[in-house]
Amino acid sequence: MAEQTGNTEKQLSDQTDAELYLGLKAGHTNALGILYDRHAGLVYGLALKTLGNAQEAEDLTQDIFLNLIKATAYDSRRGSFRTFVAILTRSRAIDRVRSRSTVLSFLERWRPISHSEKTSQSPIEYLFQNEQSQAVQTALAQLSESEQQVLRLAYYEGLSQSEIARQLGIPLGTIKTTTRRSLLKLRQFLTDYIR
Note the pLDDT tens digit of each residue in 71-124. 668 887 888 889 889 989 998 888 888 776 666 666 665 555 554 444 555 666
pLDDT attached to residue 70:
76
pLDDT attached to residue 94:
87
Q: How far is the C-alpha of 44 from the C-alpha of 60, rounded, in Å?
A: 8
> In this structure, what is the dihedral angle of CA atoms 84, 87, 91, 93, given to the nearest 10 degrees?
100
Cβ neighbours around 194 below 10 Å, total? 12
pLDDT attached to residue 130:
59
1.10.1740.10, 1.10.606.20, 3.30.450.90, 3.50.50.60: which CATH number matches 2-97? 1.10.1740.10
Q: Enumerate residue ranges in the chain where pLDDT < 70.
A: 1-10, 71-72, 100-133, 192-195
pTM beyond cutoff 0.75? no
Rg, the chain, Cα only: 22
What residue segments make up the domains of the chain, in order of their start? 2-97, 111-189
**39-43 contacts: CB < 8 A, separation 24 or more?**
39/81, 39/82, 39/85, 40/65, 42/82, 42/85, 42/86, 42/89, 43/85, 43/86, 43/89
Architecture category of domain 111-189 in CATH: Orthogonal Bundle (1.10)
